[in-house]
Amino acid sequence: PDNIYIHFPDHDTLMLIDIVNPGWVPVFQSNLTEDIPGYLEMPANALAYSWKHFIGGHLTRLGNRDDIPLHQQYMADIAENSRKALDAADFTPYIEKYPDNPWAVFRGGLEATVAAAAAPVIEKYTGVLAAADVFTESTTFQVLQSIRLDSGYASWVHP
């Protein structure tokens, strides 16, 4: 919701704010998007247009076409690692630690699952995309929740 492309064909430029941050990872929870499936589709749609220059909106530089596939791979790595972490999730230590507090169990297990999913992505993209070490966990949380709730993967909730 609320994202638009602005294409300037006479200037060989595309503007798409708060989806791809050239040279940076998305900030807090995928740039605070409300629609992870739509967020993940937007870069492919942007590449369907003819353009050379990219205006991502914030931070330090204009982008180019190379920024889009890098962002797509970063997000794909988060999604892949989220599925792996969900498959391997073990809440047993939190059940043992908090036998009478199911919310503490859920929080502890979820935080551990997100951390496990984010760790390889942080390692891969630190030095490649700015703030990978700062914002990857919050984006991973958002993507992992979407995988569970929007697609029903590793969840009792089905779309």
**Pairing of the two strands 6-8 and 53-55:** unpaired
Report the sign of the C-alpha dihedral through residues 23, 27, 29, 35, in that order. negative
pLDDT at 158 over 70: no
How does pLDDT run across 101-129, given as a tens digit for each residue? Answer: 999 999 999 999 999 999 999 999 999 99
Looking at every residue in the chain, the average pLDDT score rounds to 92
pLDDT at residue 2 greater than cutoff 90: no
Residues 109 and 44: beta-carbon distance below 8 Å: no
Which residues 6+ apart lie within 8 Å of 149 measured at CB? 155, 157, 159
pLDDT in tens, 44-55: 999 999 999 999
Per-residue model confidence as pLDDT tens digits over 61-106: 899 999 999 999 999 999 999 999 999 999 999 999 999 999 999 9
